[in-house]
Each structure stands twice: as structure tokens, then as C-alpha cells.
Structure 1
Amino acid sequence: MRFVRADQLVEGDRLGKSIYTSEGRLVLKQGALLDKRLIEGLRRRSLRYLFIETTEARNAHPHALKENLRAQMKDLLALVTAAVQRGGAVPIEPVLEWSAHMSRIVMEERDLMYHYEDLLRGDDSLIAHSVNVCFLAMLTAKALGYSRQRIQNVAIGSLLHDIGLFRPHDGTMVIHHPQVGYELLRQSPGVPAAALRIVMQHHEQLNGRGFPHGTKGAELAEEAQICGLCSEFSYFMNDRLADKLPCGGIEYVMSKIDTSYSYAVVRGFLKAFVPYPIGTELRLTGGLLATVVELNKGHLARPVVRLHQFGTKFNLMEHPGFMVEAVV
């Protein structure tokens, strides 16, 4: 099944999950073929998302799938932000429904990876940051062999890890935002304890130098480490004062091993993030232009490329003197 926005429905879609009223009355049964009249009726009910069956037309290219998933995350975060800023309750039901669907997609889609070009860079908003962190955290959890339920917990916690900053504040609350976010979500029924720990601990570090409580060692949940590492990486890559390359981001992440995060978590992250996917155009040392044609699994930041000028393959693992200077 696919989880799509109501405004993205098209004639010929088939409903993947029955729709009920708040009183439990059936509105439309699973398997119903949607025509123009039914689509207009569903939109009038102010439904935000629906499940539809996966068809060949809907079985999109991985890049298009990621675009759709990112749009869902942004929409959910905008909904949560508006509610929190009004002082209302966190609308957790749509988040729980989304996370259940998202965890299934992450488990089933073998080719779902996050690349350098997927990062929402140049946008320092909390929503863009949270989308980056959530996507990377879920894929890292998958690389670590997490079950679907644990990936779902990571999805909820990492999507809402900065919810404590959604309230208007003067900057003095920054160090307290994990506690504030924890208290906000603790009042919402159905939020898993593992997701709450992510929100509370995502700025803690193995060596105890994090905040807000200086949690360290075995007391620091692995799920929270995943979120924290992905958050630091997102901020590092989105530094407006410098144009950061993926190789620099990977070196930054590796520098955190055993001080901030465990080796296992860093290794999982490095399996989830592909800096230079096949087809990426690069500029190398000396101005050489090249296209990535193979990945070195031992070091994804040093791929095999084909040099434009000579048409020959060139393995960057075997030529340490040549560096990637830019993504073209």
C-alpha cells in the first residue's frame, strides 16, 4: 500500500484501507475503485491522507517515493507545529498512523537510501532539519537490523525530537527543549516509551557531556544515539558558512565514535547514507570531471568513477592523492 495525500488521489486508484467516521460507521470499503465523484467526496471530508493499493503506476521510482514521503513528513510537522504554538494538544494520531506505514515502507523497499542530494540543505528551519533526521534515523535503524516496531519507534521519536522548540521561546530554553518536548509528548496517549526516550536523550552523549541530564554509557538508549548522530550530521552539512562535501560529513561522524556515539551506531549510519550514488557527477583534484560508476562498500566516500576526459575507470580507493572537490 501507499500512504498518499488526499489532493494526490487520481481516478483509478483503489482504496487500500477502509474509511470510517469518528462514530465507527463505514464510509468507504477497502478495495473501492476511486472515480472523480468518490475522490471529491473524500476531499470534502477533510481527509489529509489515505491508504491506496500499490499499482504499477503508483510503484514510483525511489526518488519520487522519497519526495512523497518527505512531503508527508513536512505536512505532519506543520500540523504538529501549529497545534503546539496554539498551546493545544499534540495531534498524535496522524503521526502514529504515518509511522506505522513508514516503518513498513522502510522494511520493504530495498533500494530506499538517503543520498547527498536528498539532504534538505540551505533550509535551516526546524521542519527541514527534522525531515533529514527522521529519514536518516529510520534507515540507520534498518541497517542495524531493527524490527519494524523499533523502526516505528525511531520514526516517531526522530520526527518529533525537537518538538520542545516548536513553542515560541527566547533562546534560553534551548538547553531544556528535550525535557519540554518529553513533557509535551508524555501527555499524548499511545506514544511509545522508546520514542519518548529519543526526545529526552537525543542531545546526550556516551561520555556524559551532553544535556539536559548528562546521561552516559549504558543509560543512553541506542535509539536516542541514532537520532542524536543524525541530528549532528544534518546540522554539520547545513552549515551556511561553508559548502560541506559528503566526505567531510563522514569524517565528522567518524570523529564521534566512542565519545558521543557507539561504534555500532556510527557504522549503521555509514551504511544508511550514500554520499555519492551511482551516476553522480564529480569534480576531482586537478579539475578532472568524472561520473560515479561503482561503490566501494568498504568506503562509500571513495567510489569508482569514469573519467570524462579519458573514458577510463578510476578507483579512488587506489589513488588516495585524488580527492572529490565538488559535486557537479
Structure 2
Amino acid sequence: MRQVGIDYVTIGDVLARTIFSSDGKVLLGHGVVLSAGFITRLRDLGITAIYIQDERLADIRVVDLISERTRREAMQALKMTTDMIKNGRQFDGMRMKKSVSSVVEEVASSREVLINLIDIRSKENWLMSHSLSVSVLATVLGMNCGLEQKRLVELAMGAMLHDVGVTALPAGLLAKDEALYDAAEVTKYREHVPEGFNLLRRQLEVPLMSAHVAYQHHENVDGSGYPRGLKGHEIHLYGRIVAVADVYDRLVNKGRKRVLPHEACEILMGLTGRYLDQELVTMFLKSVATYPTGISVRLSTGEIGVVVGQNASLPMRPIVRVLEERRRVIDPKEYNLMKDMTLFITEVLQ
């Protein structure tokens, strides 16, 4: 399989990964042959890229850190939680804890050495998908920090619910680009932080330290964040971890403004010391595939290929299967960029 920008999908392409709605239902299943109507529907949903099948890459699998079943159940639990909060009701904390525990167990038992998947999400399910992805990313980083199982569940619970206060904000505000907020709207938006904290700390099944993730994930290590202007290690480890995961996921998955993973890695490095914890960012980047499997790239030779494998010890030097040379389709050949050190990736193609 390989990843293709939605504007480059053609009629007859076959979907290689299932796309889910916000409540965990299948919008389009893997194996579906894409018609003009399906492609238009995906574009209308705000989906910017998908994975399609390619017989030249039939042996390549892009594996998620969690199963489709766990993803579906977590999305359903999140949807139920947000709906209950919007209606002023207490949510089912036990169901959420069960979903979070499943996420942690699967991430902890995964054999994947690098975070290697760009999430495919629609505008309609963005918040739920973002919350789940932040939980997965935070769990990976928490494991690298040596957190034991109980603390990983606390961290993952806080990460899953870090933006729960957003559900109390006006829909019109959420639909607007944050960069266009006026001063009053910025103040209103920032209310989601204490609102989320207060919602979570009233839940018996939600550990207090999980609630503090919602309270601290917008704090910056230089003290310029909100709501309390905490600095450095005044911010709890969970809050610092989730801040890294939150920023990365927003960068690579925020609709048409998203950037590619290698660009996101550069941006994260630029944010260290001011907004993000430098040690945690360095640790996180060692866990992320700079060029995810399935993405198309141009090499310094001018050849075009697809990333088909990763080198965990050097994420910036993946394995590339070349499919095109001088605008001609060729018999596939592979370069391991960790061994072929004179070659490098010059461009990521959509």
C-alpha cells in the first residue's frame, strides 16, 4: 500500500485502510473500489490523504499501534463521553477507563519500533481521532520515560480526555480558525482548560493526575503558557508529555494545514526550550518515523519511490523502493538509506 493525497486519487483505486466516523462506525472499508462519488465524499469530509493498494507494494503493510477493534471501541467511548457532557450529564468513567487500558496494553505489546502511521480522519471526527492519537503517542513517550503500567493508564486517560473542556465551547468558535480569533475569543477558548479540569476531577473513576493533564497541557516550559504560567518541572511530567503529543498530532493531522512528519519533527525541535520540554522532544523524535512507510519520496538521484521500511536506530534514513526513474516506470529496486549514505531524500510527494 501507499499513501496518496486526495487530489491524486483516481477512479478505480482500491482503499487500503478503513476510514471511521466519530462514533467508530465504518465510513469506507478497506478493499472498496473508489468511484467518483466516493472520492467526492472523502473530499467533502475534509480527508486530505488516504492509503491505497498498489500491486508493486503488495508486501508492504502499514501497521497501527492499536487494532481496528480497539480504535473503534475507544472512538465510541469518546463519542458517548462528549455527548453526555454536552447534555450536562456525568459520563461513564468506567467504560472510558476500560478503553484506555486496552489502548495501553496494545501499545505496550506492539512490536512496532516506530510510530509509523499518518492517521486518516474527517472534519467530523477530528476531535475524537485527535484525542485517541494523543493518547497513543503519549503512551509511547511515557513508556520511553520508564513509567509503569498504572502510571501509563493515568497518563493515557488524561491524554484521551485532555481536550474534553472543548465540548463546552460554542460550536461557532470551534469552527473558526484559531489564528483568526480576536482577544475576546482567545479568552473564551482558553476557558476549555479549567472547564475540562473541573469536569474530570468530579469523576470518581478519573484519577486526579489524569485531570491535571487537561489543566496543564497548554503550559509552556518557559512560563508563557496558560492558565497558570507554570515553568519547566513545575509542569507535571504528564502535562509535558501530552503537550509534545498534542502539538505533533495537530501538526501532522490538522486538515489542509497539516505538515508532513519530517516537517513536524523540525518544528518540534524549534519549539524546545520555549514551549516544549527538550529532553522529551528528543526522546519522542527517536520514536517517530520521520518518513512513514507508504509515503512517496524523491531521492537525490531524481528517482521516485515509496518508503517500505524503517531503521529504528536512524529514523531519518528509511528503506525506499524505487518505482520511477527519469519519468519512466522501472522494475522496482530498493535502497537502504542507512547503508547507501550517499543517497538522501530531497522531497516528499503527494
TM-score where L is the length of structure 2: 0.68
Which deviates more, 287-296 or 88-97?
Answer: 287-296
2:310 corresponds to 1:301:
no
Quick check: which has more Rg, 1 or 2? 1
How high is the sequence identity, in percent, across the aligned residues?
Answer: 23
Aligned residue type for 2:91: V
Question: Would the alpha carbon gap of residues 268 and 243 (structure 1) be closer, same or farther in structure 2, given more than 3 Å must change?
Answer: same
Q: Structure 1 residues 113-122 or 214-223, which shifts more?
A: 113-122
* 8 Å contact kept, 1:113–1:139: no
Which residue of structure 1 aligns with residue 347 of structure 2? 324
Partner of 1:80: 81
Deviations 1:68-87 (A, max 9, x none): 22212211111011100101
Compute the displacement of 1:286 (Å). 6.9
In structure 2, relative to structure 1, the CA distance for the partners of 1:113 and 1:154 (3 Å cut) is farther
1:92 matches 2:93: yes
> Structure 2, unaligned stretches of length 5 or more?
1-22, 26-61, 174-184
Structure 2 match to 1:14: none
Q: Which residue of 2 aligns with 1:114?
A: 115
Q: Does 1:156 align with 2:157?
A: yes
| Residues 75-105 of structure 1: per-residue CA shift (max 9 Å, x gap) | 1111011100101113211112222333222
> Hey, what does 1:70 align to over in structure 2?
71
Letter in 2 for 1:137: A
Matches of 1:237 and 1:257 in 2, distance apart? 18
Tell me the residue number matched to 1:134.
135
Q: Which has the higher contact order (CA 8 A, sep 6+)?
A: 2
Cα–Cα, structure 1 residues 279 and 164, in superposed 2: closer, same or farther, change >3 Å? closer
- Give CA deviations for 1:150-177 in whole Å, capped at 9, x if unaligned: 1101111011001101124264431121
Quote the residue 1:214 is aligned against. Answer: 229
Tell me whether 124-133 or 185-194 shows the greater mean CA deviation: 124-133
Deviation of 1:294 after TM superposition, in Å, equals: 4.7
Give the counterpart letter for 1:205 in structure 2: N
1:264 corresponds to which of 279, 286, 301: 279
> What displacement does 1:140 show?
1.6
| Cα distance in 2 for residues equivalent to 1:75 and 1:231 | 21
| Deviation of 1:120 (Å) | 3.5
Cα deviation for residue 304 of structure 1 reads 3.4
Give the total of aligned pairs. 270
Q: Give distance in 1, aligned partners of 2:145 and 2:122.
A: 26
Partners of 2:65 and 2:110 within 8 A in 1: no
- CA 1:286–1:319 in 2, change beyond 3 Å: closer, same or farther? closer
* Aligned twin of 1:315: 337
CA distance, structure 2, for counterparts of residue 121 and residue 230 of structure 1: 20
| Stretch deviating more after TM superposition (107-116 or 133-142) | 107-116
Counterparts of residues 15-26 of structure 1 (less than 5 Å): none
Aligned AA (1:324): E
Q: 1:123 Cα deviation (Å)?
A: 6.0
| Closer, same or farther: CA 180–271 of 1 in aligned 2, 3 Å | same
Query: Could you report, residue by residue, the CA deviation over 1:10-45 in whole angstroms, capped at 9, with x for unpaired residues?
Result: xxxxxxxxxxxxxxxxxxxxxxxxxxxxxxxxxxxx
Name the SS of the counterpart of 1:117 in structure 2.
coil
| TM-score, with length taken from structure 1 | 0.72
